[in-house]
Amino acid sequence: MNKPLIMTPGPTEVHEDVRIAMAQDITNPDLDLTFYEYYKEISCKLKKLLNTDNDVLILNGEGILGLEAACASLIEPGDRVLCIDNGIFGKGFGDFCEMYGAEVVYFKGDYRKAIDAGELKSFLENDNNFKLATLVHCETPSGITNPVDEICPLLKKYGIISIVDSVSAIGGEPIEVDQWQMDLVIGGSQKCISAPPGLCFVSISQSAWDIMIDRNTPIRSFYSNLAIWKNWYEEKWFPYTQPISYIYGLDCAVDRILKDKSSIYRHKRIAEGFRKAILDYGLELYPMDGHSNTVTTILVPNGVEYSQIYNHMLNEYNILIAGAFDFLKNKVIRIGHMGENCYEEKIYITLKALDATFKNFGIELNGELHKHFVNAI
Ligand SMILES: *Cc1c(COP(=O)(O)O)cnc(C)c1O
């Protein structure tokens, strides 16, 4: 297989050290008690990454398992849940809530803008009788980062428990779980963390634990039941056998991030340079504000189809970029500048190929895309 450079907004490139870490010899993670200490150690590293003292669990499935587990464990039939929706993942959260019997109310924002915390505040002044609220930190399909630092404290004022999908933000955007009073936060291995797909992790506040433990009805799932994890360390018990090799990889990937003190700043700097290059070149960004520092979503210009760009990039330059799905299908190009992708060299190579691709299809734009990037950065 002629592996392409994967510049998609997850999965991302995986560093060689992470791949080598995954090849380490294994033990029996159920019976070897040293594995419980190891798991706890990684959980502590994730706490550091999230800036929290809350418990962090690593689950054996990619991000979607985290989203579903949060809904399955926290929601009881008839609960009122506020679904804060300004994109495909935000809206999809509502479907999970309904699946577990919630009465969902949508707070719908502009799909091309970040959630306006002021508007949400006015909304909550009139209706705030919610047990939970769901929101997405970075809407990966549209490339928009929401102000969770304003939204979560606002929800807390009304005693609303927050479930935050931060799968494509953690490691690339600032996150302060304790300071911002975020209750249940979900991260995934294959976005800015740059480990292979297959794991997610969740941080759980005391209030979120209390809700799970004091339910009137049982949690209608085993695999998605977070409550059964409550005493895993004290009891030296996991609900299922842990994917030890994936956890080796996650450990190494998180070490790499914690070691790099400038990781968040690098994401911001590269993202700003990337966007400036796109605009100087004469292309249009999908978001009108709230631009993500981990993924950029560009409107496909007139005169060329998304599939032509995608195929040319892959076949001629062996670079994999992404489109989007749902209502953005064939309308946008997405490039991930997250984790291991977020280095000037990889962005330069990608933009140079994109420049040649547009020229190949006769699309007239300003100058050279990769040179705009060099000038911007
Ligand atoms: C990637 C992602 C997920 C997890 O979805 P996958 O099935 O792993 O692709 C969840 N939420 C967001 C916002 C994501 O970007």
CATH 3.90.1150.10-classified regions of the chain:
5-9+261-376
CATH number of this structure's domain 5-9+261-376: 3.90.1150.10
**Angstrom distance (rounded) from CA 337 to CA 377:** 14
Considering only CA atoms, which of 191, 194, 177, 195 is closest in space to residue 55? 177
pLDDT score, position 2? 86
pTM value is 0.98
| Residue 141 CA, ligand 1 centroid: distance in Å | 10
Query: Ligand 1: does its nearest atom lie under 6 Å from the Cβ of 165?
Result: yes
Handedness of CA 301, 302, 306, 311 (dihedral sign): negative
Query: Ligand 1: does its nearest atom lie under 6 Å from the Cβ of 136?
Result: yes
What pLDDT tens digit does each residue of the chain (377 aa) get?
689 999 999 999 999 999 999 999 999 999 999 999 999 999 999 999 999 999 999 999 999 999 999 999 999 999 999 999 999 999 999 999 999 999 999 999 999 999 999 999 999 999 999 999 999 999 999 999 999 999 999 999 999 999 999 999 999 999 999 999 999 999 999 999 999 999 999 999 999 999 999 999 999 999 999 999 999 999 999 999 999 999 999 999 999 999 999 999 999 999 999 999 999 999 999 999 999 999 999 999 999 999 999 999 999 999 999 999 999 999 999 999 999 999 999 999 999 999 999 999 999 999 999 999 999 99
pLDDT score, position 325? 94
| Residue 362 CA, ligand 1 centroid: distance in Å | 34
**Angstrom distance (rounded) from CA 137 to CA 150:** 11
- 101 CB burial (10 A radius; 0-12, 13-18, 19+): middle
Cis peptide before 11 (omega within 30 of 0): yes
Domain 16-259, CATH among 3.40.50.1110, 2.40.180.10, 3.30.470.20, 3.40.640.10: 3.40.640.10
CATH 3.40.640.10-classified regions of the chain:
16-259
Query: Ligand 1: does its nearest atom lie under 6 Å from the Cβ of 167?
Result: yes
Closest C-alpha residue for ligand 1 atom 12: 167
